[in-house]
């Protein structure tokens, strides 16, 4: 039996712990710091790497890292030096996510399909470039900005304001000391995630996120308001194209450049005219994508995590998936992604339903009550024979959950219905 320490406190980490706990080879599953839905919570924050290492060593845990912040701070390097088993990329390999400028250069020099771009650290030069191009632009801050450092612009004046916001007003601090001006691509977005041991990469199931706060993909970008899996946006032909030309090309190029990538590699893809363009890489699982993906995963996740650490992925069969669809609808507190209330009691969580599971994110448990403790509060995740069934099961379950400021989109999965025939 092996004990697991899951680092993080979101819906993604709850789903990873839930899936790992189903393995007959797993003993205890600890969560640091976890949330109101996870059990065996350990009161250590994700950036307290030394304390996490001490705990993992005392309890003889294999550590699974959910979020990008500890990965880019070098948690994997530090655990590995101490001889502790940990799943995820090194600090160098996590640069695929932690520096968008580095990732764009990496893609360009290795022939990985991505939108045209230029890099600037000077606002005057960046504005002159905006005036010189005849296409719409997306302005991106270089470093980690909690999903907020990307501004999709409809016209030149929006691009100029975005440049001011990042380079002049320094709204993202040092994460915005460099910017990318990138061609805006009009297409359909999907998420393609793989698991790698540095040499081999196996696909996880495909999925599609819903990044905007309001129905119809309107309003501000968020961390993600819901996701479903699989997505028909990525058919078999496109999946093969992405697997070879994005994922395998990235894994072999990272190895060649001396920073082999182990862990979950997430490619945010824009599909235009049947061709994939990489919008971003994440060096981790997606959230909320992780919830429907874990619900569909038939294989034992532990086997793949261990093989990723040991470099033996190619000895395992491809991962097997339930043929059904799964959908996760995020329940947030009204006001997210800006200001929102906390500490409201959530009711209706005890209802049992064989087709759904409620993953917790921004919740905490106090005196037997579950209270809201973040913007994205719950990820209600359901399975069904068709995408429509999964959607109905998720919203059916949501109807039984309540708190004063509960908010969710009412159209999660709807845009998939046209594709998932």
- Residue 383 as a binder of ligand AMP (CB under 6 A): the answer is no
Complex with ligand AMP: residue 279 or 328, whichever CB lies closer: 279
Complex with ligand AMP: residue 19 or 100, whichever CB lies closer: 100
Q: What are phi and psi of 135, to 5 degrees?
A: -130, 165
Stretch that binds ligand AMP, among 8-16, 39-47, 70-78, 179-187 (CB under 6 A): 179-187
* CA distances, 338 to each of 333, 341, 378 (Å): 10, 10, 17
Q: Which run of H or E residues covers position 76? A: helix 75-81
- Residue 289 as a binder of ligand AMP (CB under 6 A): the answer is no
Contact code string over 171-210 relative to ligand GLY, x by CB under 6 A: --------------------------------------x-
Q: Are 286 and 310 in contact (CB under 8 A)?
A: no
Q: What is the dihedral of CA 68, 72, 78, 84, to 10 degrees?
A: 30
- Residue 115 as a binder of ligand AMP (CB under 6 A): the answer is yes
Least distance CB 189 / ligand AMP (angstroms): 6
Q: Are 95 and 142 in contact (CB under 8 A)?
A: no
Stretch that binds ligand GLY, among 39-47, 178-186, 282-290, 386-394 (CB under 6 A): 282-290
Q: Are 228 and 289 in contact (CB under 8 A)?
A: no
Complex with ligand GLY: residue 61 or 225, whichever CB lies closer: 225
Tell me which of ligand GLY, ligand AMP, none is bound by residue 150, counting a contact when its beta carbon lies within the kind-specific cut-off of 5 to 8 angstroms. Answer: ligand AMP
Rounded CA separation 271/85 (Å): 37
- Residue 287 as a binder of ligand GLY (CB under 6 A): the answer is yes
Residues 280, 287, 289, 344: which binds ligand AMP (CB under 6 A)? 280
3-state secondary structure 309-378: HHCCHHHCCCCCECCCEEEEEEEEEEEEECCCCCCCECECCCCCCCCEEEEECCEEEECCEEEECCCEEE
Contact code string over 302-321 relative to ligand GLY, x by CB under 6 A: --------------------
- Residue 255 as a binder of ligand AMP (CB under 6 A): the answer is no
Rounded CA separation 249/289 (Å): 23
Judged on CB neighbours under 10 Å (0-12, 13-18, 19+), 128 is exposed
Tell me which of ligand AMP, ligand GLY, none is bound by residue 115, counting a contact when its beta carbon lies within the kind-specific cut-off of 5 to 8 angstroms. Answer: ligand AMP
Stretch that binds ligand AMP, among 22-30, 178-186, 226-234, 321-329 (CB under 6 A): 178-186
- Residue 288 as a binder of ligand AMP (CB under 6 A): the answer is no
Contact code string over 120-159 relative to ligand AMP, x by CB under 6 A: ------------------x-x---------x-x-------
Give the Cα-Cα-Cα angle 35, 36, 38 (nearest 5 degrees). Answer: 65
- Residue 224 as a binder of ligand GLY (CB under 6 A): the answer is yes
Q: Is 51 helix (H, G, I), strand (E, B) or coil?
A: helix
Judged on CB neighbours under 10 Å (0-12, 13-18, 19+), 419 is middle
Residue 305 is encoded by which pair of tokens?
């995590």
Contact code string over 242-281 relative to ligand GLY, x by CB under 6 A: ----------------------------------------
- Residue 182 as a binder of ligand AMP (CB under 6 A): the answer is yes
- Residue 289 as a binder of ligand GLY (CB under 6 A): the answer is yes
Complex with ligand AMP: residue 185 or 233, whichever CB lies closer: 185
Tell me which of ligand GLY, ligand AMP, none is bound by residue 184, counting a contact when its beta carbon lies within the kind-specific cut-off of 5 to 8 angstroms. Answer: ligand AMP
Rounded CA separation 183/204 (Å): 29
Interface residues with ligand AMP (CB under 6 A) are: 115, 138, 140, 150, 152, 182-185, 189, 211, 221, 268, 270, 279-280
């Amino acid at each position: 039996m092996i004990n697991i320490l899951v680092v993080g406190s979101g819906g993604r980490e709850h789903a990873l712990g839930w899936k790992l706990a189903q393995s007959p080879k797993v003993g205890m599953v600890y969560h640091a710091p976890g949330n109101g839905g996870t059990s065996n919570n350990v009161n250590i924050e994700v950036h307290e790497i030394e304390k996490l290492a001490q705990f993992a060593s005392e309890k003889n845990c294999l550590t699974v890292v959910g979020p990008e912040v500890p990965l880019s701070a070098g948690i994997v390097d530090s655990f590995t030096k101490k001889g502790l088993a940990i799943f995820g990329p090194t600090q160098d390999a996590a640069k695929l996510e932690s520096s968008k400028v580095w990732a764009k250069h990496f893609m360009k020099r290795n022939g990985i399909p991505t939108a045209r771009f230029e890099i600037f650290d000077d606002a005057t030069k960046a504005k002159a470039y905006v005036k010189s191009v005849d296409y719409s632009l997306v302005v991106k801050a270089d470093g980690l900005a909690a999903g907020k450092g990307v501004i999709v612009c409809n016209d030149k004046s929006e691009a100029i304001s975005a440049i001011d916001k990042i380079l002049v007003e320094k709204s993202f601090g040092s994460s915005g000391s460099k910017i990318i001006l990138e061609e805006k691509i009009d297409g359909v977005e999907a998420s393609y995630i793989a698991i790698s041991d540095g040499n081999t990469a196996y696909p996880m199931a495909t999925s599609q996120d819903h990044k905007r706060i309001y129905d119809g993909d309107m309003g501000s970008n968020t961390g993600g308001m819901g996701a479903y899996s699989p997505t028909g946006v990525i058919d078999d032909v496109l999946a093969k194209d992405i697997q070879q030309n994005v994922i395998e090309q990235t894994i072999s190029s990272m190895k060649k450049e001396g920073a082999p990538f182990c862990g979950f590699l997430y490619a945010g893809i824009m599909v235009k005219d049947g061709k994939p363009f990489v919008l971003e890489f994440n060096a981790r699982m997606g959230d909320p994508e992780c919830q429907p993906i874990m619900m569909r995963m038939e294989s034992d996740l532990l086997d793949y995590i261990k093989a990723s650490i040991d470099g033996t992925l190619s000895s395992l069969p491809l991962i097997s998936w339930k043929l059904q669809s799964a959908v996760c609808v995020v329940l947030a507190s009204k006001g997210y992604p800006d200001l929102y209330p906390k500490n409201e009691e959530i009711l209706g969580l005890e209802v049992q339903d064989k087709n759904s599971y409620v993953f917790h994110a921004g919740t905490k448990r106090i005196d037997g009550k579950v209270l809201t403790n973040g913007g994205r509060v719950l990820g209600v995740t359901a399975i069904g024979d068709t995408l429509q069934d999964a959607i109905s099961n998720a919203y059916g379950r949501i109807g039984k959950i309540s708190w004063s400021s509960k908010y969710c989109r009412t159209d999660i999965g709807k845009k998939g219905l046209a594709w998932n025939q």
